[in-house]
Amino acid sequence: MQNFVRVAITAGVAAIGLGLSTAAHAGTLVEKKVDFRGWWRADASEPIDLGNGLMLTVTAGVHSGGPSANAPLNVVRDAKVTQNAKGLGVKNFPIVDSKELDGSGFPEFLRFTFSEAIDLSSVFFSKADGKDEFDVGIDGIDMHINDTFGTDRIRSFARVPTRKGPLYKVDFSGGVDLAGDGTNALVPAEGTVFDFYTTDKGDDYRIAKMKIVHEVPEPATALGLLAVGSLAIARGRKRDS
């Protein structure tokens, strides 16, 4: 996916509103916007260089759930990551499959593995209909999406019009509720491994974009960050935001 992903970097992101503590972050917080919409590819699992030493690898598979069908997932087998103009999906061989992240047959998952811990700010879904729902696990711990947002239906979230069709934005910057912890307290969506997975047969959609916050260690970051602030690194053909 190295040449088919667009990354935009913004320097000096404020911790306010991101569920972060400035005292806990000694470096500079940098927001990275990763756009997965690109040319059609049957396998899009190559590592992505996000800059500042941060790498992202996207993998896929099918699962039989875990505790109550939630993370940590019981992985049945690997699958292929697919990419097109709507974003990332899953091709589940050998069965006939939609090539999107869906729940037909065995439910599927997309796994985003970062080389360093990041804070998930937001995710944009595409090709979602009124019944599509999503689940998230961070570092093998299930997030209670219904308790966090009051719904897990993608079309209940903010609709973002684009020339390629609407996206639906899920904002994680206020934190998420950990499933099974006995409270409704929100914690930062921070970790290295993020699983987006389906549990219902009717689920069928793609992940189009993602915004993350990465801590760049001091010292000697200030001048470098000024040089790359608001820099758009175009990988692949030009697309709309």
Cβ neighbours, 10 Å, residue 36: 27
Tens digit of each residue's pLDDT (9 = 90 or more) over 143-164: 999 999 999 999 999 999 999 8
- Higher-confidence residue: 130 or 221? 130
pLDDT score for 64: 87
Tokens 């935001």 belong to which residue?
241
Tens digit of each residue's pLDDT (9 = 90 or more) over 187-232: 999 999 999 999 888 899 999 999 999 999 875 444 444 444 443 3
Of 84-93, 109-118, 164-173, the one with minimum mean pLDDT is 84-93
Tens digit of each residue's pLDDT (9 = 90 or more) over 77-97: 999 999 999 999 998 876 667
Cβ neighbours, 10 Å, residue 155: 16
Contact 128, 152 (CB under 8 A): no
Give the separation between CA 92 and CA 118, rounded to whole angstroms. Answer: 28
H or E stretch including 216?
strand 204-216
Mean of pLDDT values over 109-129: 96
Question: How would residue 21 be classed by pLDDT, with cut points 50, 70 and 90?
Answer: very low
pLDDT score for 98: 81
Give the separation between CA 29 and CA 58, rounded to whole angstroms. Answer: 23
User: What does the domain layout of the chain look like in residue ranges?
Assistant: 39-207
3-state helix, strand, coil in the chain (%, to 5): 10, 45, 45
Q: Is the pLDDT of residue 25 over 60?
A: no
Q: Is the pLDDT of residue 63 over 70?
A: yes
Question: How would residue 71 be classed by pLDDT, with cut points 50, 70 and 90?
Answer: confident
Global pTM reads: 0.82
